[in-house]
Each structure stands twice: as C-alpha cells, then as structure tokens.
A = this chain, B = another copy of it.
Amino acid sequence: MRDHGGDIDTAQARVGGTDWIDLSTGINRVPYPLPSLPQEVWTALPTVAATARLLTAAGGAYQSQAPILAVAGAQAAIQMIPRLSAPARARILTPTYNEHSAAFRNAGWQVDEVATLAALEGADLAVVVNPNNPDGRKHAPEDLLRLTTRVERLVVDESFADAWPDLSLAPRAGQGRLVVLRSFGKFYGLAGVRLGFILGSKTDVAALAEIAGPWPVSGPAIAVGTAALSDRSWAEATVARLRADAAHLDRLAQSANWKCVGGTDLFRLYDTPNALAAREKLAQHQIWTRMFPYSDRWLRLGLPGQPTEWDRLAAALRD
C-alpha cells in the first residue's frame, strides 16, 4: 500500500498508548452527529428511492444540477476514472494525492506528473486537485474552465473543497467533459462510512454507474449522507469554525517556529527544521501527523477537535 495518513494503528503499535489524537489526515474531528438509523438500512439492499434522495441532497449541498453518482468514497471514484476511456496519456498536477497517479498507471495509462496548470494542456486526461493536498494550492474556476477546452477530459478532485464553496466547479460538471469528484467523509468527519460522489456529463456518469455496478454504497452511508448533506446550517457553521481553527493552528505552529506553507481549512502544511524529529516529538505525546516521502521538512497536521485535543497539542509543541 502507498503511504497514507490515517495509519494510526502503526503509530500505536510502535509507540504504545491508547489515547492517540490522529492528525495525520484531513478529516474533520468534529463529525456530523450520527442520526438514528432504522434497522432496514443494515438489513435490506439499498433501494433506488433511497439512493435518489441521497443524490438530491448531494446536488443541493454541491449546488449542482449535473448528473451525479454516489460511490464508496472519493477513493472509489479515483479507482474508476481511468476506465472512462481507453488507456492513453494522463497528466497530473503534482505534488498531490498519490492515488490518482497509481490508479492511472495500474489501468495501463502513461502518466506525466507536471508542475503547472499550463503544462496540463494537450493531455488526453488531466487531473487537478482543488484545493490541492498537501499544499492547499487553489485554482480559480475560470482557469480550470479554460483548461477544459484544451484537454480531452479534465478531472477536478474537490475532496477538500467543502470549506471553499466558491472554488467548486460542481455546478459546471459535464461541460466540456469536466468530471468533478467530491468526498463526503472529510468535511463531515465520517471517513469510515465510505461515501463520495462523481459529477459529470450524462454519458460519463452512466458509464461510471455501469463500472460501479448496483449497490456500490452501503445503507448506513446513504442514510447518514442524506441527513448530513441536507443540513446546510451545520455545514455553514462548520465552515466558519474550521476557518477560525485553521488560523488557531497556524498561531500554535508559529510559536514552535514552523512556517505555514499552505493548506486548507481541514489541514495545514508546515515547513519545519526537521519533519521526522517534529513528528517523533508529537508521537511521544500520542499525536500522529503526516510526513511525505518527497520532503524532509514538510509536516501536515489536521485540525484538533475537542478543547482537550487543542490543549494536548499546545503542550506537545511547547515541550
């Protein structure tokens, strides 16, 4: 398996302790409160009607009337995208989430990793993560829309876009073969349910539905997702809370002489004198963070949730 955040079990096994705070991911640690679930979401196959309600809620949350497909996480979408057309040449704006490139290579595509939006032009398929993970780089919607006219197909992974609704191209999905991926679990703090969405043209979404097959999403995920995505007031309050908390985390990091080099409101990326030493120090306090194989200075932290988690992080950074 490629390196990922969320590998809290390996940290636990190595350092010991049972009271870890996992900041190695960009998953909101103040999750949407679970609704009570009727028994049939567990026992019965999900119905077409229940899935339709989920898609209506998602279309509302993402402010889009484009055709949409629910899948078992944005990761499941990433696995499927390379099958939308015959293997050719994909260009991916990097550094970014490493699974895009892996999925294309595994499906027989040639993959070029490029550093600028301009270098994506001419690709059979281009991938942009917006805002980007791990550096938070943001691209204006109009720049991406222009790019759709210069590539065969553009895939925009908006896994971290919930806190920046103005950045989203979900309303324009399907135009010029634009495909937009959304993650449910990160912003709603429910990564374990495995839920994500693909928005695109009617043809692309129908092809992806055939690749996914029937019942790709669990009954509990459909029920929880429908409730959460319909709750706009929770989303708005969470956007505001995350923005304040991200600023708070930057201040804490500054006191440890780490420099913020980017991030979103779900995670922050810091330049540290020695990322390995910084991660180990925090691990001794049972706080798990994320390094990247291509940098010995970058450390990525998700945002703590409850006040006690903030206190523990502050104490660890003072140590």
Contact = CB atoms under 8 A, between A and B. Distances in A.
Interface of A: 1-2, 4-10, 13, 22, 25, 27, 29, 31, 34, 40-50, 72-73, 75-76, 78-79, 99, 102-103, 106, 185, 189-194, 210-221, 224
Contacts of A212: 79
A149 B45 CA distance: 36
How many copies of this chain sit in the oligomeric assembly?
2
Contacts of A46: 192
Query: Most chain-B CB neighbours within 10 Å: which of A42, A189, A217?
Result: A42
B72 A218 contact: yes
B76 A213 contact: yes
Contacts of A2: 214
B191 A220 contact: no
B40 A213 contact: no
Contacts of A1: 48, 214
A258 to B, nearest CB: 25
A198 to B, nearest CB: 14
A219 B47 CA distance: 21
Contacts of A211: 79, 106
